[in-house]
Structure 1
Amino acid sequence: MLEQNFCQCLYFTATRLKKIAAKIAEDESRLLGMSPTYVYVLLGVKFKSGITQKELCEELHLKPSTITRLIDKLVINGFVERKAEGKLSHIYLTKKGEEIQEDIQKYRVKLHNRYKEILGKEEYELLIKITNDSARILESE
């Protein structure tokens, strides 16, 4: 009953969607042994070797303390390494980080296919477009 009163609220709807999408992503990432957030940090490092923590924060829309915690754990688990270059710390994949990339790619394909299966391909693509466009507009305010 309360949902009927809240469904016109962007905050409520976005939060609900986030929880549902996150649960699906977490279910799919169990085989990797890490949460989806770690997967996307590893992808960020793969796509831009030597990326700084600040750049990762901006690209992944996460707080610096969160990125630091995630990278610390990835360093401990041997997936990435930090190299200090002047005042900045650059992040690089290790051999282990490179080796898991094929499994990460399979995870991403499986995850996107699962969303498409549930929503339908056209609905999924439309949702992605509207969500990204809306986020850009709201961020610019």
Structure 2
Amino acid sequence: MIDRVKAEIAADDRIKLMGFLDDEQLAGFYGSIDVFALTSVNAFEAFGIVQVEAMMMGIPVIASDLPGVRVPARETGMGTIVRRRDAGAITEALRVLPTMSFPDDGAARARQLFHVDASTRAYERLAGRLRG
């Protein structure tokens, strides 16, 4: 799949495949963007932790309207949800999203809901209820 993507974008110097980024590089990457788009088309995409990482850095997201993928944008107010496979809706969201205002506490809300510590505590509570 990566080779197919590279072949498709080879002539477009606006697109760069980043490859693996360590934590320091990842922070720099998120600091360099205005919007993060997770335009998944596969209904099996469970959640998309990358969009949560962007939100925790204060970056608004564009998320596909898929069951798990849409949850972080809905719960934090840090983005917009677009129809799956709708290039026009994605284009419009990319145009409009940088001009929109988002909750001042959106990044904090993303961390409160989705940080690994918060997720671990939520799973522990669920496991406790299921056992008891």
- Please report the TM-score for the alignment, with normalisation by the length of structure 2: 0.29
Quick check: which one's helix share is greater?
1
Structure number with larger C-alpha Rg: 1
